[in-house]
Amino acid sequence: MAEKTAVRGRPQSVPELLARNVAQFGSKPAYREKEFGIWQSWTWREAADEIESIALGFLALGAAEGDHIAIIGRNRPALYWSMVAAMKIGAVPVPLYQDASAEEMAYVVDHSGARFTICGDQEQVDKVIEVQETVKCVEHIIYQDPRGLRKYDHTTLHALSDIQGEGRAARVRLMPELERREGKLEYDDTCVMLYTSGTTGKPKGVVLSNRNVIETAKNSSEFDHLRPSEDILAYLPMAWVGDFIFSIGQAYWTGFCTNCPESADTMMTDLREIGPTYYFAPPRVFETQLTNVMIRMEDAGKFKKRLFDKYMAHAKKVGPAILDGKPVSMGDRIKYWIGDKLIYGPLKNTLGFSRVRVGYTAGEAIGPEIFEFYRSLGINLKQLYGQTEATVFITAQPDGEVRADTVGVPSPGVEIKIAENGEIFYRSPGTFVEYYKNPESTADTKDAEGWVATGDAGFFEEETGHLRIIDRAKDVGQMADGSLFAPKYVENKLKFYPDILEAVVFGNGRNRCTAFINIDLTAVGNWAERNNIAYGSYQELAQHPRVLNTIQEHVETVNKSLANDEMLSGCQIHRFLILHKELDADDGEMTRTRKVRRKIIEEKFHDLITALYDGSDEIYTETEVTYEDGRKGKIKATLQIRDAAVIEDTAHTRVAAE
């Protein structure tokens, strides 16, 4: 292995990177996981040994080159090892979303033709067994956590530790085969297959090669000067390309340590204990944390509250400038230093951000206030823009050039062009190989020269060269009067209010815009408690007149800011309602990465949309919901519909008149 690397100049596959890391950082921690209340750790050498035994175990079970191995479970070292072990034997790891229902899982398992599935626990095993009723490709199920599985029929069911044991026992016999397969891995061989979350239609299997993963990991690690001493917390779904690039791509390229939380519920505690230096979260996580901080400050004593407000105001004023290395007066710096000792430092510590050197948010637009809040504390939070097909990175913000409304400059090695209709195209070493078993879609997305359509519309700012995203290109439409309709842009503006969890704006081809709103139960519930508003359920709270009033104010403020924008003033919201249920991936209304599925919502709630446009004041509706365990139920509610004030500005009337 080492000789081959030497001949070719640099590692050609993830398993080769592993071998290099063992040679270079052998006794440095590669993985940590909190279990039994203690952080257990594995060095690169120990991890490589575990990976080898899993790979040998796969061989003992008869895994062939080119097989697909599905991996389903929460972030745990053993599951990451299984992925690399799959690569070692020339198979393709396919991580799947662990919260997917059996039905959703059936499609991807069938599509990938996985012969093996690795499950984290009984819950996932049960789902795969259910999937097996309709999908015949799965031959072996391997599980990590044996709990509750003792009584199951073990003819084709294996404990991961057992197959590792079998692999170790057969080491002498199987090692030549493993070495042969590993030695054959080429730069352009498939490294991993990741399914897109499927905002529209069925998920597509994005095939990424070793080249895609390694080049991207190398470029992005250099861009942010990542070092072997970094610590990351792996808590985002393993099926998501970002987690793959951070926890495997970059971790193997730079040799840093991947830490896995004890359980989903302990994430915040584990975050604080590890204190990652490189951190990634979707805007929602930052929003939730900020909401929690604000709620707790509301309950704090008067003195503390005043101190907090005073210094946070100062941080807002000078914090981002200090972070960007811009000139700040000595007095302000001293005051910021005091604030850091009294407020910012302890707050960062509580949030687990004391050691963060580089933080990223992506996936959705982040509210400017939220973004500024973290930056003002001195946390180097940046934005990036990417997608699965690009192996994440398309653009990213360099240190010192961070703004809330752009997504940065093209990442190293990425070329970008903007089509006439505003759609963004890119070409990069990370550009995916193909959609698995779907040449038509591949051809639609990637042209002969390697340019990939992102489906997003945007433009480069002339002064700074930063990219700004307007909306999903296919969501951008026209109102009946011909003015621009950009729902996502408006929804994001609404979602920046902590009270509003989700918003869906309608208006394509119509003469006015309307909206569905989801309230945030944590924020609104806390507000209700402080104002002595009694409520029995989510529905009741959502329809409370005072909640409606607050949301109406938010909508009207958004309308005001839209009125100032010449292009988008037509998107002001005329009428809105607050939904009686939270939009949920289990009901198919959102993707597993929590992106709104417009089509499905439009179909499912067509009665509500009709009511928004026919002028009625309220509407009675029944909606089918799916509970976590797959059972279905119905909720009934009468929803109020409110009119919001809009500002008829001159720009808009002019457009309309033309």
Partner 1 sequence: MNQMATDSTITEDGRTIGGVMMEMRNITLRFGGVVAIKDISFDIREGEIRAIIGPNGAGKSSMLNVISGFYHPQEGEVWYHGARRKAMKPYQVARQGIARTFQNIALFDGMSVLDNIMTGRINHMSSSFLDQAIWWGKAQREEVEHRRKAEEIIDFLEIQAIRKTPVGRLPYGLKKRVELARALVAEPKLLLLDEPMAGMNVEEKEDMSRFILDVNDEFGTTIALIEHDMGVVMDLSDRVVVMDYGKKIGDGSPDEVRQNQEVIDAYLGVAHD
Structure tokens at 640: 């109020």
178, 59 Cβ separation under 8 angstroms: yes
Contacts of residue 368, Cβ cutoff 8 Å, sequence gap at least 6: 404, 405, 496
Contact 280, 288 (CB under 8 A): no
d(Cα 306, Cα 312) in Å, to the nearest integer? 10
Size, binding site for partner 1 by CB under 8 A: 13
| Cα–Cα distance measured from residue 159 to residue 143, given in angstroms and rounded to the nearest whole number | 5
263 scored as a contact of partner 1 (CB under 8 A):
yes
299 binds partner 1 (CB under 8 A): no
The whole-angstrom separation of Cα 347 and Cα 345 is 5
Smallest gap from Cβ 531 to partner 1, in A, equals 24
Q: 477-478 and 409-410: which strand pairing?
A: unpaired
Q: How far is the CB of 639 from partner 1 (least distance, A)?
A: 27
Nearer CB in complex with partner 1: 40/478: 40
**Distance in Å, CB of 36 to partner 1, minimum:** 4
The b/e string for 279-315 (b: 16+ C-beta within 10 A; e otherwise) is: bbbbbbbbbbbbbbbebeeeeeeeeeeeebeebbebb
* β-bridge mates for residue 386, sequence order: 393
Pick 268 or 567: Cβ nearer partner 1: 268
**Interface with partner 1 includes 631 (CB under 8 A)?**
no
Nearer Cβ to partner 1, position 37 or 615? Answer: 37
Locate the DSSP E strands across 25-91.
Answer: 29-35, 38-43, 68-72
Of the two residues 126 and 401, which places its CB atom closer to partner 1 in the complex? Answer: 126
Nearest residue (CB) to partner 1, 37 versus 327: 37
Cα pseudo-dihedral 354, 360, 361, 363, rounded to 10: -150
- In the window 494-523, what residues touch partner 1 (CB under 8 A)? none
Among 7, 9, 176, 265, binds partner 1 (CB under 8 A): 265
- Contact stretch for partner 1 (CB under 8 A) within 102-110, 264-272, 331-339, 422-430: 264-272
Phi, psi of 48 (to 5 degrees): -60, -35
| CB-nearer residue toward partner 1: 628 or 658 | 628
- Residue closer to partner 1 (CB basis): 269 or 464: 269
Show the DSSP H helices in 224-367 as ranges. 241-244, 267-274, 283-299, 302-323, 330-339, 345-351
Residue 584 contacts partner 1 per CB under 8 A: no
User: How far, rounded to the nearest angstrom, does the alpha carbon of residue 54 sit from its chain's CA centroid?
Assistant: 28
Q: Which listed residue (7, 151, 303, 449) binds partner 1 by CB under 8 A?
A: 151
157-159 vs 140-143, strand pairing mode: parallel
Given the DSSP bridges, would you call strands 257-260 and 573-578 parallel, antiparallel or unpaired?
A: unpaired
Cβ proximity to partner 1: between 263 and 650 the closer is 263
The string over 609-628, giving b where at least 16 C-beta atoms fall within 10 Å of a residue's C-beta and e elsewhere, is bebbeeeeeebebebeebee
Taking the complex as a whole, how short is the minimal distance between the CB of residue 207 and partner 1, in angstroms?
Answer: 36
Other CB atoms closer than 10 Å to residue 186's CB: what's the count?
A: 12
Q: Which is nearer to partner 1, 268 or 480 (CB)?
A: 268
Give the shortest CB-199-to-partner 1 separation in angstroms.
Answer: 31
Query: What's the CA gap between 391 and 429, in Å, rounded?
Result: 9
Report the site for partner 1 in 17-36 (rule: CB under 8 A).
35-36
The minimum distance between CB 38 and partner 1, in angstroms, equals 8
The structure tokens 């988008």 sit at: 568
> Closest CB to partner 1 among 146 and 345?
146
- Per-residue x/- track, 218-257, partner 1 (CB under 8 A): ----------------------------------------
Q: Is 534 in the site for partner 1 (CB under 8 A)?
A: no
Q: Which two tokens stand for residue 273?
A: 């204990």
| Interatomic CA distance for residues 230 and 227, integer angstroms | 6
Pick the binder of partner 1 from 26, 62, 66, 148 (CB under 8 A).
148
Q: How far is the CB of 121 from partner 1 (least distance, A)?
A: 11
Residue 425 near residue 392 (C-beta atoms within 8 A): no
Rounded least distance, CB 543 to partner 1, Å: 24
Segment lying near partner 1 (by CB under 8 A), choices 70-78, 146-154, 335-343, 479-487 = 146-154
Q: Is 150 in the site for partner 1 (CB under 8 A)?
A: yes
**Which of residues 24, 40, 200, 269 is near partner 1 by CB under 8 A?**
269
Q: Which of 24, 266, 478, 653 binds partner 1 (CB under 8 A)?
A: 266
Angstrom distance (rounded) from CA 342 to CA 338: 6
Query: Residue 40 Cβ, how far from partner 1 at the closest point, in Å?
Result: 11
Q: Which residue of 3, 147, 329, 449 would you call a contact of partner 1, by CB under 8 A?
A: 147
CA distance 287 to 289: 5
Strands in 371-441 per DSSP E: 381-387, 392-396, 409-410, 415-418, 423-427, 434-435
Counting contacts by CB under 8 A, is residue 634 touching partner 1?
no
The answer to whether residue 37 forms part of the interface with partner 1 (CB under 8 A) is yes
Shortest Cβ distance from residue 460 to partner 1 (Å)? 45
If one asks whether residue 38 binds partner 1 (CB under 8 A), the answer comes out as: yes
Find the helix packing angle between 44-60 and 160-169, rounded to 10°: 90
**Interface region with partner 1, contact rule CB under 8 A, candidates 144-152, 307-315, 383-391, 556-564:** 144-152
Site string for partner 1, 306-335 (x = CB under 8 A): ------------------------------
- Residue 143 DSSP SS3: strand
CB of 418 to partner 1, least distance (A): 47
**Contact set for partner 1, span 43-62 (CB under 8 A):** none
Which residues contribute to the site for partner 1 (CB under 8 A)?
A: 35-38, 147-148, 150-151, 262-263, 265-266, 269
